[in-house]
Amino acid sequence: MTRVRDLLIIAGLFGVLAGFVVIGPGRAPPQTPNVPSTYSSAPDGALALYEWVRAMGYDARRLEYRPFELTDDDAVLVMLSPSEAISRAHARDILEWVERGGTLIFADDAPTVFSQSDALLEALKMRITVLTDTQMIERVPALQPVFDQPPVRELTVRTRRTLTPQRDDYAPLFGAPGQMLIAGMRIGNGYVYISATAHPFTNVGLRDPQNAALALNMLRRAPPGGRILFDEYHHGLTAPPSATDGLLTTPWGWAGVYVATATALFLLLGGRRFGRAVPLREETARRSSAEYLDSMADLYQRGGKRRYMLQHFYADFKRRLAKPYGVNPQLEDREFVYQMARARPINEAALLALLAQLRATPASDADLLRVVAAADAFIDAQMQERQPRANVEV
């Protein structure tokens, strides 16, 4: 039986392992490393641009983990190849913000026909189309001497896309005849730079001094120390990461889940009792009456119930004294003493004084014990006086 159970445990663990292999990170599609995110130090990332902007004294911030909102304090918004779709509402907000005086630097070289930026491109009345599928456009010259601080003559672009305008009020900035790659346009009080390539703004692209000069000229529209936002919201950073995010998205997280599951299955299938649970001796032993008396006495003492306790001894004293003679112990003290004196010779004054002390409130525990001891001594004396008479009658 034990052997069968062990085989079942091993089979269960292998089954869990197979399930993790099937649905685990090995089945997940690999994340594309070429997203120009400001968190990426890969060649196609944009960390270098973010750090460079901060080093120049601008207030560089990432737009992430909050609602997509733009304020008049934001001078420049940089959006590089969004990996999440830009909604029409966001496109409308961006356009309204530009009209109030903002500067948009937008670059996208998505390889698909329907890109994530279609709503924004539609609002800007621009299209990004595929120029060629076989040949990479490496470098393009400046079409106008607009950027001169420092001068920019030629760019490294590495793209197969081009801009197709659907409006007339734009300025072609870089490209070739019939191949415009970067354009500028004034919208309201603001300005928009739109590019069919994100390469000049990437980590590897900024190694070209001309590409760096292009970024520097575009950023001059922001005032010194102005706020420059880098859009990470449309790179998927919409909600703050939680503690469980890495649990099912990384190999180490899946390994931890597998270890926990395998351990739980082993304990569930391999655990067994050796017999009926035996309770501890302290759980079955009954408490003695002496312990109960000690507890009650301690409670009365801590509560200062000396008068209550003395009333108990007062009633008990009269009952014990009257029982042998059939006298009613509920009588008033003087009547009780009178009836006791009729039944047998007794020191009436001493008995009255003792009863008065038993009805009084003792000032301390010592007074309480003294009165109770006197009452016991009085009863003992009465019992000793009765004993000879009982022997004579026998």
pLDDT one digit per residue (tens) for the chain, 394 residues: 566 666 676 777 677 666 666 565 544 444 445 689 999 999 999 999 999 999 999 999 999 999 999 999 999 999 999 999 999 999 999 999 999 999 999 999 876 556 788 999 999 999 998 877 677 889 999 999 999 989 999 999 999 889 999 999 999 999 987 789 999 999 999 999 999 999 999 999 999 999 999 999 999 999 999 999 999 999 988 877 666 666 666 677 777 777 788 777 777 766 666 667 778 777 777 777 777 777 877 787 787 778 888 888 888 888 888 888 888 988 898 888 888 888 888 888 888 888 888 888 887 888 888 888 888 888 888 777 766 544 444 3
Rounded-to-integer distance, Cα 308 and Cα 285, Å: 32
Strand partners, 140: 155
- Give me the count of residues in the chain: 394
Neighbour tally for 341: CB within 10 Å: 13
H helices present in the chain, as ranges: 2-23, 47-55, 88-99, 118-124, 209-219, 251-270, 281-284, 289-303, 306-322, 333-343, 348-359, 365-393
Let me know: does 41 contact 203? Beta carbons within 8 Å. Answer: yes
Let me know: does 73 contact 227? Beta carbons within 8 Å. yes
* Residues facing residue 133 across a β-bridge: none
* Six token digits for residue 62: 């990432």
- In this prediction the pTM is 0.58
- Taking the C-alpha atoms of residue 260 and residue 300, their distance in angstroms, rounded to an integer, is 55
Residue 67, preceding peptide bond in cis (omega within 30° of 0): no
CA-CA distance, 238 to 69, in Å (whole number)?
12
Residue 150 backbone phi and psi in degrees, to 5:
-80, 170
Identity at 160, one-letter amino acid code: R
Eight-class DSSP state of 207 = G
